[in-house]
Amino acid sequence: MITEKINKSDIDITKLPKHVAIIMDGNGRWAKKRGLPRHFGHQEGMNRVIDIVEATKDIGIKYLTLYAFSTENWKRPKVEIDALMNLLVLFIRRELQRLVTNGVKLNILGDWSVLPDLPQKEINRAIEATKDNSDMVLNIALNYGGRQEISRAVKLILEDHLRGNIDVDVIGEDTISQYLYTNGQPDPDLIIRPSGELRLSNFLTYQSAYSEFWFSDILWPDFDKTQLYRAIFDYQKRDRRFGGI
């Protein structure tokens, strides 16, 4: 049982992860514990997002990825999907100015062209308003699936090959990275999953080959910056060998 509290000052700024990714899990259980409908959990989860974005930026981490809606989440009841889409709109309307003030550039991972019109409109507005920011990149994964991302990359590479733009001989691991939604970004060093589930759930499948994982029983709506500090503190104690000795 971990009892000691970790503060920002406990983090070694010379050993920061470049890229942190979070699976925001446990919203439904948070609501159920309180006898509330599931969307209350998502709403409370959405309320945590901006604080974690600001805390991440404040530590000096350059890339943060949040898993907000997977390709599998379409299987949920329509009322819950609608609630999640509305929360996305609300998040952008409420927090866009804070993203701009913090120098955060918004990027979406996943095929967001199939989202309803209103979220698409707000995402376009947020991407446009943050496009010149360079202090931190916030990736929000929406209609995202790691396998979908890899099969899309294969198709794009093949199309480029058929157009004569890429030779089979030069296709390697880096080529595939360049055709992913995270093109140009470092792979996630640290992947955080609260809520007690111990799996990746089709998140950053290609990029996570050498990621460190950090799990906790806390539900996402209860996740605050002290948990983020704890995850980074624990990460800094790991010995990353990347297959070496």
CB of 46 to ligand FPP, least distance (A): 4
One-letter-per-residue 3-state SS of the chain: CCCCCCCHHHCCHHHCCCEEEEECCCHHHHHHHCCCCHHHHHHHHHHHHHHHHHHHHHHCCCEEEEEEEEHHHHHCCHHHHHHHHHHHHHHHHHHHHHHHHCCEEEEEECCHHHCCHHHHHHHHHHHHHHCCCCCEEEEEEEEECHHHHHHHHHHHHHHHHHCCCCCHHHCCHHHHHHCCCCCCCCCCCEEEECCCCCCCCCCCCCCCCCCEEEECCCCHHHCCHHHHHHHHHHHHCCCCCCCCC
CA distance 215 to 230: 11
For ligand FPP, the closer of residues 11 and 49 by Cβ is: 49
The minimum distance between CB 219 and ligand FPP, in angstroms, equals: 7
Residue 27 is among the residues annotated as catalytic for this protein = no
Q: Give whichever of 49 and 180 is closer to ligand FPP, judged by the CB atom.
A: 49
* Catalytic hit among 47, 73, 133, 202: 73
Nearest approach in angstroms of CB 29 to ligand FPP is 3
Q: Which of 7, 10, 12, 25 is catalytic?
A: 25
Q: Which residues contact 148 (CB under 8 A, 6 or more apart)?
A: 71, 110, 111
Report the residue number, 25 or 149, with the smaller CB distance to ligand FPP: 25
Residues that bind ligand FPP (CB under 6 A): 24-29, 42, 45-46, 49, 66, 68, 73, 84, 87-88, 91, 140, 195, 220
Give the residue nearest to ligand FPP (CB): 28
Minimum distance of ligand FPP from residue 24's CB (angstroms): 4
Residue 25 bears catalytic tag: yes
Q: From the CB of 34, what's the least distance to ligand FPP, in Å?
A: 12
Cβ proximity to ligand FPP, 70 vs 207, nearer residue: 70
Is 84 or 157 the residue whose CB approaches ligand FPP more closely?
84
Q: Which residues are annotated as catalytic?
A: 25, 73
